[in-house]
Structure 1
Amino acid sequence: MGTIATDSARGVDPFPLLAALQASGAHVIVIGQVAGIMHGFTELTGDLDLLWDADPRSASVLGAAFAAAGCKLRADDASDASTDPELLLRPKATFDSERACGDCCTPSLPWGGVDLRAVLARSETATAPDGLEIRIPTLPDLIHMQRALGRPKDLRRAAELERLRDTS
């Protein structure tokens, strides 16, 4: 099962990073299990997965947001940690800090036929009481993304999200 134990959780607090990302102005949405939780899913996770539009003009401000939150970036091939924002232009980079870790993906990442640019365009915004805005995929898009990945944990999560959709 995808749990805190399996997702590298270590005192996870994604809010400082999410606030820095919002302040950057880059088009970033939360995907994966955290997006599922925001749609009502109950299974915990310890990582924060992101999708951004990969606009090269925004790479430096997005990189600065990660740096401000204490995150180091890595290429998906796990090469050395860096603060080089050019890593964010690859299909997938990872980020890691004491408070948050996960993947930062671009629309060029193959996702089983899912049009990630369309997912970005249709994203929804949730606003916290303190004004923090967190963008997430629509529930149908998140279900489609989970099904397209096809891993057992993703299929299980898609099925629960479908149950949530059907009962609301």
Structure 2
Amino acid sequence: MLDPLAIIASLTRHDVHFVVIGGIAAALHGSTTLTADLDVLYEREKANVSRLSRALAELGAQRRDLPDGVTVGDDERSLWNGTNFLFTTRHGDLECIGETPSGRFTYAQIAAGAERFDLGDGLVVRAASLDELIRMKRATSRAKDNAEVENLVALREVRDAKRR
């Protein structure tokens, strides 16, 4: 069962530079769509990859994006040699995205417009803005993402109406 708070707490403890994207980010903005994993866009900088490696070790992360029987290290070097990874952790599934297709959405770009959410107990996380989530979901052209775009647009309309 997914415990995104535990995963976020570990990433935060290790000072990993990341932004929550995907379903959990949508939920932070008020979406009620369920998700089975935590998606994060992480900074592809050497020191940050090292911090991410330590956080993944603490989480007991195992790669789940490899064919049966194929194993690779989950250490810092392996992380540096790749970009996007699917992990199973003791707190649920985690997708670490270092590079989006065609470089459409960079960490720097998404982080610049990210919103901060207080999750309680001193835990604060940055999540992609509603506008960026909508752009990312539209870019995938997946049926499930197209449905979520409608939800996110409605949430944005409610938010904007409250600001008037």
Same fold (TM over 0.5): yes
1:126 alignment partner, SS class: strand
Q: TM-score, normalised by structure 2?
A: 0.85
- Aligned 8 A contact 1:72 1:82 in 2: no
Determine what percentage of the aligned residue pairs are the same residue: 31
Contact 2:111 2:128 in 1 (8 A): yes
Shift of residue 131, structure 1, vs aligned partner: 0.8
Three-state SS of the structure 2 residue aligned to 1:12 is coil
Distance 1:69 1:77 in 2: 19
CA contact (8 A) 1:112 1:149 kept: no
Residue 48 of structure 1: which of 31, 38, 51 is its match?
A: 38
Whole-angstrom distance in 1 between the partners of 2:158 and 2:17: 31
Letter in 2 for 1:28: F
**Structure 1 or 2: more helix by fraction:** 2
Superposition map of 1:101-140 within 5 A: 101-106=93-98, 108-110=99-101, 113-140=104-131
Structure with higher Rg: it is 2
User: What runs of 5+ residues in structure 2 fail to find an aligned partner?
Assistant: 160-164
- Give the secondary structure class of the aligned counterpart of 1:48: strand
Q: How many residues align?
A: 156
Structure 1 CA distance for aligned equivalents of residues 38 and 11 of structure 2: 12
RMSD over aligned Cα atoms: 1.9
**Structure 1 runs not aligned, ≥5 long:** 1-10
